Structure 1
């Protein structure tokens, strides 16, 4: 999601500049909330779980 991308960018920025930890924590919680809400709404709408499968790449 856009919020998750913003969180990753904020964490990367925090490595080189001062970023308030509360801002990163807020983005993380907001991302979690949106994820859970999407799952709840999908279930209420009759959609099943979409499970993510990690595909291992062969080296």
Structure 2
């Protein structure tokens, strides 16, 4: 597991998420811990290293 910091696409605050490196490709919905708006998160790992991360507004 690894912590990743990024900017919320709604409120622009820096937030963090715990990512699971054991799943190479993941897409899920997570609410921002600051503004509570939903964020679509897409995460990609290659050889156990984070190779891609996207956080987009779904509203």
Q: TM-score, normalised by structure 1?
A: 0.22
Q: TM-score, normalised by structure 2?
A: 0.22
Which protein is bigger by CA-based radius of gyration? 1
Question: Which one has the bigger helix percentage?
Answer: 1
